[in-house]
């Protein structure tokens, strides 16, 4: 029998990544940050001199990604690109290459390989709808766009990057529209997902809620 999966899907900056990490830690499970794979693909495209207009090039680079996830680093060809792929430029290109079916297809098997005992917490946009449709617990994590922009702003500032709140808000809106509006694997709650709104809840509360849902399920 396949290892259990908890999927956490939702828009950019809803807190999915942190919450997935914390839930995985509490359960002693593996974690998949699927957005990182799209970001790594975008970085590979940029480094290959691409501008995000060539689907075949992006799919080829996605298939060949040489990546290793470590607790505190994401290695691409041995180089730690963990911080680099968080930049807005890479995130914006990621959401464009992610709209291409050939790129999504190229990353599918790689994502499913993360499903190992004792279990997996997978975060992204289509974890519950496309990649792990048989997951026993699916969470759709939403939050108000203004709240998400504030959080992203604080994150960037804390890391010493410059940031502008209005620009971030516009970027988030554009990225949400692209992720929700695309033809292939759009951002949408799976029919059997539980929607959790994190606008007015801290991380600890959301983590507890997810763990409670898992115990209730098991």
Which CB atom, from 16 or from 57, has the smaller least distance to ligand C5P?
A: 16
Binding-site entries for ATP: 10-18
The residue with tokens 């059997």 is 192
Q: Which of 127-148 are b and which e, b meaning 16 or more Cβ less than 10 Å from the residue's Cβ?
A: bbbbbbeebebbbbbbbebebb
**Which residues lie below 8 Å from residue 88, measured CB to CB, with a gap of 6+?**
168, 171
Which CB atom, from 1 or from 98, has the smaller least distance to ligand C5P?
A: 98
Per CB under 6 A, which of residues 165..184 are in contact with ligand C5P? 175, 179
Which CB atom, from 180 or from 212, has the smaller least distance to ligand C5P?
A: 180
Strand ranges in the chain using DSSP code E only, listed in sequence order = 5-9, 30-33, 67-70, 73-76, 79-80, 120-124, 137-142, 194-197
39 contributes a contact to ligand C5P by CB under 6 A:
yes
| Distance, CA of 118 to CA of 6 (rounded, Å) | 12
| Distance, CA of 152 to CA of 158 (rounded, Å) | 10
Which CB atom, from 27 or from 33, has the smaller least distance to ligand C5P?
A: 33
Cis peptide before 172 (omega within 30 of 0): no
Choose which of 126, 152, 171, 193 interacts with ligand C5P (CB under 6 A): 126
Minimum CB separation of residue 9 from ligand C5P in Å reads: 7
* Count of helices and strands (H, E) across the chain: 8, 8
38 contributes a contact to ligand C5P by CB under 6 A:
yes
98 contributes a contact to ligand C5P by CB under 6 A:
yes
Choose which of 44, 94, 143, 149 interacts with ligand C5P (CB under 6 A): 94
148 contributes a contact to ligand C5P by CB under 6 A:
no
Which CB atom, from 142 or from 179, has the smaller least distance to ligand C5P?
A: 179
For ligand C5P, the binding residues (CB under 6 A) are 12, 34-35, 38-39, 91, 94-95, 98, 124-127, 175, 179
């Amino acid at each position: 029998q396949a290892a259990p999966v908890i999927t956490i899907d939702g828009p950019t900056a809803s807190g999915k990544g942190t919450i997935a990490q914390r839930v995985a830690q509490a359960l002693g499970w593996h974690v998949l940050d699927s957005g990182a794979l799209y970001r790594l693909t975008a970085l590979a495209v940029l480094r290959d001199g691409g501008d995000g207009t060539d689907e075949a090039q992006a799919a080829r680079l996605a298939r060949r990604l040489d990546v290793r996830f470590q607790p505190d680093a994401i290695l691409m060809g041995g180089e730690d690109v963990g911080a680099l792929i968080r930049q807005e430029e890479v995130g914006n290109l990621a959401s464009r290459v992610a709209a291409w079916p050939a790129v999504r297809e190229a990353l599918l098997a790689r994502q499913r390989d993360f499903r190992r005992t004792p279990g997996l917490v997978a975060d992204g946009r289509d974890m519950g709808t496309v990649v792990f449709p048989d997951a026993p617990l699916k969470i759709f994590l939403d939050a108000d766009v203004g709240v998400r922009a504030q959080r992203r702003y604080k994150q960037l500032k804390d890391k010493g990057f410059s940031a502008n709140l209005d620009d971030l808000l516009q970027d988030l809106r554009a990225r949400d529209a692209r992720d929700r509006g695309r033809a292939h694997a759009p951002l949408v709650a799976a029919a059997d997902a539980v929607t959790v709104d994190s606008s007015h809840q801290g991380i600890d509360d959301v983590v507890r809620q997810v763990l409670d849902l898992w115990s209730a399920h098991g």
